[in-house]
Chain A
Amino acid sequence: GIQVEQSPPDLILQEGANSTLRCNFSDSVNNLQWFHQNPWGQLINLFYIPSGTKQNGRLSATTVATERYSLLYISSSQTTDSGVYFCAVELTGGGNKLTFGTGTQLKVEL
Chain B
Amino acid sequence: NAGVTQTPKFQVLKTGQSMTLQCAQDMNHEYMSWYRQDPGMGLRLIHYSVGAGITDQGEVPNGYNVSRSTTEDFPLRLLSAAPSQTSVYFCASRRLSTGQGYQFFGPGTRLTVL
- Give A contacts to B, CB under 8 Å: 1, 4, 30-31, 33, 35, 41-45, 48, 50, 86, 88, 90, 95-103
Task: Give chain A nearest CB distance to B23 CB in angstroms.
Answer: 14
Say which residue of B42, B96, B98, B101 sits within 8 Å of A100 (CB atoms). Answer: B42
- In the assembled complex, 6 residue pairs joining A and B whose CB atoms fall closer than 8 Å, in A order, are A31-B101, A41-B107, A41-B108, A48-B101, A90-B101, A96-B48
Residues of B within 8 A of A4 (CB): 42
Residues of B within 8 A of A99 (CB): 45, 59
Nearest CB in chain B to that of A90: its residue: B101
Say which residue of A33, A100, A101 sits within 8 Å of B102 (CB atoms). Answer: A33
* Complex alpha-carbon distance, A1 and B88, angstroms: 23
Say whether A98 contacts B45, CB under 8 Å: yes
Say whether B42 contacts A101, CB under 8 Å: yes
Say whether A33 contacts B103, CB under 8 Å: yes
Say whether B42 contacts A96, CB under 8 Å: no
